[in-house]
Amino acid sequence: MSAVLELGRHAQRIAQLDATRRRARFWRYLQYGVVALIVGWSVEAIVVGDTDWSRISAEGVAKAAWRFIDFDPSILLSLWEPALETVLMATLATLLGALMAIPVAWLGANNISPLGRFTYYVGRVLMTLSRSVHEVVWGLVFVAAVGLGALAGVLAMAVRSIGFISKTVAEAIEDVNKGPVEAMRAVGANRFQVLMFGIVPQVLPVIIGNVIFEWDVNIRRSTIMGLVGAGGLGLALHRQMASYNYGGIATVIFVILLLIVFGEVFSAWARRKVI
């Protein structure tokens, strides 16, 4: 009798587990279906419904593509100066952004924030503000403040760099090994000594690596800063676009591609040598 009851309980338990699995499977497939409907509706509303399909044809696409393939070598010699200006803008912006990111990281690291939660939240707000606003918007702000030229681009990219560098450094500071820090405090080291000799040596590789990475990113950013009048290859691209010189546009884009490849190679070499 007990064996029959035990088998009955096992059968009931199996039935409950099977029903639970069926419900979980139903809700999972329902979620997939809702996501698919949302994606389909988005494609229809944004791509299908908002595109003038009458203007798109194989001949038109081929003609437009051919315009950009036809390079204009006559402007190549005039692009070396904007290319150099682009590299210098990225370098200055990265250095300035790194300098400004250090105090923000100090404020935003929970374990060393000078005035506790208040300055921690101040640092986190500054990080979020820097990362939330696109560099083109920062460029427009600084063009309005200091006028056209490379200075506006440098300031825009520097402010944009603060968020990434300070956030990664602050998180590295929060994850440091507490042993050396506690040992220094136990022998009477003050807060500055703990910071300089107990924390900075542990996070220095993170700082250097992120600064190199941000320089690589700023190479890309600086190529579009000229679209808002902030100098560099972006300004050369804007001029070619304004004159409808499709070959010139393709030539500038090619030089930008070469510059980005240079940034990739240099940043990889710098990481191997420095870190």
Helix, strand and coil percent figures for the chain, each rounded to 5: 85, 0, 15
pLDDT of residue 224: 77
Q: pLDDT value at position 35?
A: 92
At 69 the pLDDT is 75
pLDDT of residue 230: 66
Q: Average pLDDT of the chain? A: 82
| Most confident of the following: 18-27, 32-41, 256-265 | 32-41
What are the CA-CA distances from residue 90 to residues 93, 94, 131, 161, 229 (Å)?
Answer: 5, 6, 17, 10, 16
Confidence category of residue 8, pLDDT binned at 50, 70, 90: low
- Greater confidence (253 vs 16) lies with 253
Q: What is the dihedral of CA 214, 216, 217, 223, to 10 degrees?
A: 140
pTM for the structure as a whole: 0.71
Positive or negative: CA dihedral 18, 24, 29, 30: positive
What whole-number distance in Å separates Cα of residue 159 and Cα of residue 139? 10
Query: Could you tell me the pLDDT band of residue 6, with boundaries at 50, 70 and 90?
Result: low
- Tell me the mean pLDDT in the region 170-187: 84
pLDDT of amino acid 37: 92
The CA distances from residue 47 to 24, 80, 94, in Å, are 34, 39, 37
**Mean local confidence (pLDDT), 168-195:** 83
Q: What are phi and psi of 137, to 5 degrees?
A: -65, -45
With cut-offs at 50, 70 and 90, classify the pLDDT of residue 33.
very high
Q: Tens digits of per-residue pLDDT, 201-256?
A: 888 888 888 888 888 888 888 877 776 766 678 778 878 887 878 888 888 888 88
Give pLDDT, residue 32. Answer: 92
pLDDT category of residue 10 using cuts at 50, 70 and 90: low
Least confident of 32-36, 56-60, 108-112, 166-170: 56-60
Distance of alpha carbon 102 from alpha carbon 268, whole angstroms: 23
CA distance linking residue 223 with residue 235, whole number of Å: 8
Q: What does each C-alpha distance from 2 to 5, 8, 9, 12, 13 come to in angstroms? A: 5, 10, 11, 15, 16
In this predicted structure, what is the pLDDT of residue 16? 76
pLDDT score at 5: 55
Distance CA 232, CA 84 (A): 8
Quick one: 85 exposed, middle or buried, by C-beta within 10 A (0-12, 13-18, 19+)?
A: buried
Average pLDDT rounded to a whole number, residues 140-157: 83
The CB-based long-range contact list for 63-67 (8 Å cut-off, 24+ gap) reads 67/246, 67/247
